[in-house]
Structure 1
Amino acid sequence: MSAAFFSATYGEARQRFLEAATRAGAAVGHHVHPLTGAAGEEIGTDTALLGPADAGKLFIVSSGTHGPEGFSGSACQLALLNDELARRAADRGIALLLIHAVNPFGFSHLKRTNEDNIDLNRNFNDFATPYPDNPVYEQIHDLLVPAAWPPSADNEERLNAAMARLAGQRNPGVSSGQDKHPDGLFYCGTAPAWSNRTIRSILRAHGTTRRHIAWIDVHTGLGPYGHGEKIFGRHSEETTRRAKAWWGSDLIVSTATESVSPRTVGHITGCAPEECPDAAITPTTLEYGTVPNPVVRRALRGEAWLAGHPDAPATLVREIRQAVRDAFYVDADDWKGMILGQFRSQALQTINGLAAEE
């Protein structure tokens, strides 16, 4: 049954989301992207708002911040639209906002990054101040993005040795973000991307009058197969207390050594306090493991190389795109069941937590 909520393409996921939202009686919104999808289709970030419009409490679930990670996030949203939990939230005075495909270009084109090779979870930052230096990434950029693809055996050997040497570096780590290499991995960009501006406008439209906002941003690609890590950033003591009370002792602060995620700058949920300053914000990232880290890293390296080689042969393009899809979406029933089961549990925790707040 769980597998039924997963779609094969962005276009299918979008259509199913919009149809389910309409059936559920949600107020649906569309933010059309200026570019087109891989099949020439219209793409965009869509929203569905359920529950009392004037609710003081808002539960946000977002998907597809990193392109093909949207296969799982979209399935979680579709399952929620078909679950009595949505009605339960409304009955308890909670509005539910589903943000589908934060990065629709990446979702459709099977790119973790956006149309400008920007990692959107490094783009929500203050561009009036310099992005933090990342000397760890600088040491291996040339190894990560080689001149030719596939990389040579010598390149792979040197990169593996460097990654082993840098394995303990987390603040910053290799994937923390960088602003020096537009053709590289984890690039933050030089200005707010289309998706950044769109998410901020959605928050202003739906969040500014709320007292409490909970936000789950669904991701894949890090950690053990099928395990959902509840990643929590660095927040105030009050926010941390509230998050642990809602989501339990398995909530992992991203700065802790046991977290699968290093410190990052420019995370999507970080814009909520800026756009909704009067609300108490309780955010988390739900990160599901897929395949071993070296496989994910190779897929990301291929994507970065391809961004700098638009004239690459069609067969190689398809190979790289498929590798990215496979790194962030496991097309197996057991994995899909793990994703939706853990998501429903955290969604229920969130609803109960929000309902208990004044």
Structure 2
Amino acid sequence: MPSIASHFSGSYAEARRKFLDAAEDRGARIQSIELPGHRGALGETLAMDAARLGAADASRLIIVSAGTHGPEGFCGSGCQVALLRDDDLLRRLDEARLGLLLIHAINPHGFSHLRRVNEDNIDLNRNHVDFERPLPVNADYAAVDSLALPDHWPPTAEQAAALADYIAEHGMAAYRAALSRGQYTVPDGLFYGGTAPSWSNRTMRALLREHAATATHLAWIDVHTGLGPWGHGEKIFPGRAAGLPLARSLWGADVLAMFEAGSASPDVSGPVVSAAYDECPQALFAPMGLEFGTLPDQQVLDRLRADCWLHRHPEADDLQRRAIRRDVRDAFYCDDDAWKGMVLGQARVVMLQTILGLARAA
């Protein structure tokens, strides 16, 4: 039996190789869509890879995706590889005549280069909006951009005091919301949603049209990290209210909606999973962001600030660059066997719930 650690990887290139090998061993139908014009941190090819298993004519489909936010893919990839090696779960999938679509590295550039955002500094969970309509307005972002991203890093005492004064006046919740809900006006800023569908957005939609256009029931688990208690997998519902009863029937009363009190996630604009509403309108749809905690929330946010500062300051020396990249990786992936065990145990329970529940759903 493979060890827990063997499912996980230390780089995007290793994770991609393990995923493709495990998918091939399982006899999956594999598709690889390469990201044009970009290479990985080690010079490797960057791609969004998909593996399809289960009944070819399945009307009920499970999607498990990873790497929406770059280095969060270390966790999601490990969950996918473990699933591909799980004889019992895949036997249950076949017996229930369900389809399974695994999507590896939605954001391959960020996964390889250790950035939460994509090759254009776009947060993909802010990019799935209707760009034919007026974009969401975040009027509060302008006031916090220069405070969160000062011209020096680490911030000077004076710069840190200015941010502390803002938080004291407006509150921590307002500060975090102003940053994280998404903004569409500052391309080199934090949580930028873009002005058009990204490559990842377009590629994901093409996969949905191919694999889920005729599904009557669709459950989508998008694996994330960086929010909540260490090692705990929060079941976040990032969809429309009409789908919440199905989500709770599949995954339990601890499914927390972003639009309700108590969720670790802010109510953000344009999450990746919302593409299913456009591409699969015929399906009864239950999405989940399965979010595993790593570091305290404020530490994670501060490391994202450092990463965005580095994006604005390419002249930074190599020592600082490597330190910031390492800190970002550690904010989204705990290279700790106990954490990995907690992740895989909870991910397996969620997958079992999904198989059993989707097979029985009306």
**TM-score, normalization: structure 1?**
0.96
Kindly report which structure 2 residues correspond to 1:169-184, keeping only aligned pairs within 5 A, or say none: 169=174, 173-184=178-189
Pick from 309, 313, 325: which aligns with 1:309? 313
Deviations 1:39-62 (A, max 9, x none): 111010000000111101110000
Pick from 25, 33, 42: which aligns with 2:27? 25
Pick from 32, 44, 47: which aligns with 2:50? 47
Kindly report which structure 2 residues correspond to 1:142-181, keeping only aligned pairs within 5 A, or say none: 142-163=146-167, 165-169=170-174, 173-181=178-186
Cα offset, 1:171, TM superposition: 11
Q: Does 1:283 align with 2:283?
A: no
Give 2:17's aligned residue. Answer: 15
Cα offset, 1:233, TM superposition: 2.9
Q: What amino acid does structure 1 have at the position aligned with 2:218?
A: I
Q: What amino acid does structure 2 have at the position aligned with 1:85?
A: L
Kindly report which structure 2 residues correspond to 1:237-256, keeping only aligned pairs within 5 A, or say none: 237=242, 239-256=243-260
Q: Does 1:214 align with 2:213?
A: no
* Identity across the alignment (%): 51
Aligned counterparts of 2:118 and 2:293: Cα–Cα separation in 1: 22
Q: Does 1:81 align with 2:84?
A: yes
Q: Does 1:195 align with 2:195?
A: no
Pick from 108, 111, 114: which aligns with 2:115? 111
Give 2:346's aligned residue. Answer: 342
Aligned counterparts of 1:139 and 1:167: Cα–Cα separation in 2: 14
> RMSD of aligned C-alpha atoms?
1.5
Q: What amino acid does structure 2 have at the position aligned with 1:201?
A: A
Q: What amino acid does structure 1 have at the position aligned with 2:77?
A: S
- Contact 2:239 2:286 (8 Å CA) reproduced: no
Aligned counterparts of 2:108 and 2:140: Cα–Cα separation in 1: 30
- Contact 1:173 1:263 (8 Å CA) reproduced: no
Aligned counterparts of 1:85 and 1:160: Cα–Cα separation in 2: 49
Query: Structure 2: any 5+ residue segments left out of the alignment?
Result: none
Give 1:140's aligned residue. Answer: 144
Q: Counterpart of 1:224 in 2: which secondary structure? A: strand
- Contact 2:239 2:274 (8 Å CA) reproduced: no
Aligned counterparts of 1:109 and 1:97: Cα–Cα separation in 2: 25
- Contact 1:133 1:178 (8 Å CA) reproduced: yes
Cα offset, 1:172, TM superposition: 5.3
Cα offset, 1:320, TM superposition: 1.1
Pick from 131, 134, 142: which aligns with 2:135? 131
Give 2:94's aligned residue. Answer: 90
Aligned counterparts of 1:302 and 1:128: Cα–Cα separation in 2: 33
Pick from 194, 205, 210: which aligns with 2:210? 205
- Contact 1:136 1:166 (8 Å CA) reproduced: no
Aligned counterparts of 2:227 and 2:274: Cα–Cα separation in 1: 20
Cα offset, 1:345, TM superposition: 0.7
**TM-score, normalization: structure 2?**
0.95
Deviations 1:134-156 (A, max 9, x none): 13332211111111222212222
Q: Counterpart of 1:318 in 2: which secondary structure? A: helix
Where in structure 1 do 4 or more consecutive aligned residues deviate above 4 Å?
170-173
Aligned counterparts of 1:79 and 1:120: Cα–Cα separation in 2: 25
- Contact 2:55 2:99 (8 Å CA) reproduced: yes
Q: What amino acid does structure 1 have at the position aligned with 2:47?
A: G
Cα offset, 1:173, TM superposition: 4.4
- Contact 1:215 1:284 (8 Å CA) reproduced: yes
- Contact 1:137 1:175 (8 Å CA) reproduced: no
- Contact 1:134 1:172 (8 Å CA) reproduced: no
Aligned counterparts of 1:195 and 1:315: Cα–Cα separation in 2: 31
- Contact 2:250 2:354 (8 Å CA) reproduced: yes
Question: Which deviates more from structure 2 when the two are superposed, residues 304-313 or residues 47-56?
Answer: 304-313
Q: What amino acid does structure 2 have at the position aligned with 1:135?
A: A
Cα offset, 1:128, TM superposition: 1.5
Aligned counterparts of 1:130 and 1:273: Cα–Cα separation in 2: 19
Give 2:233's aligned residue. Answer: 228
Give 1:269's aligned residue. Answer: 273
Deviations 1:318-352 (A, max 9, x none): 11111110110111111111111111111111111
Q: Counterpart of 2:260 in 1: which secondary structure? A: coil
- Contact 2:226 2:332 (8 Å CA) reproduced: yes
- Contact 1:59 1:95 (8 Å CA) reproduced: yes
Cα offset, 1:283, TM superposition: 0.5
Aligned counterparts of 1:302 and 1:135: Cα–Cα separation in 2: 23
Q: What amino acid does structure 2 have at the position aligned with 1:17?
A: F
Question: Which deviates more from structure 2 when the two are superposed, residues 155-164 or residues 121-130?
Answer: 155-164
- Contact 1:171 1:263 (8 Å CA) reproduced: no
Aligned counterparts of 1:192 and 1:149: Cα–Cα separation in 2: 31
Q: What amino acid does structure 2 have at the position aligned with 1:252?
A: L
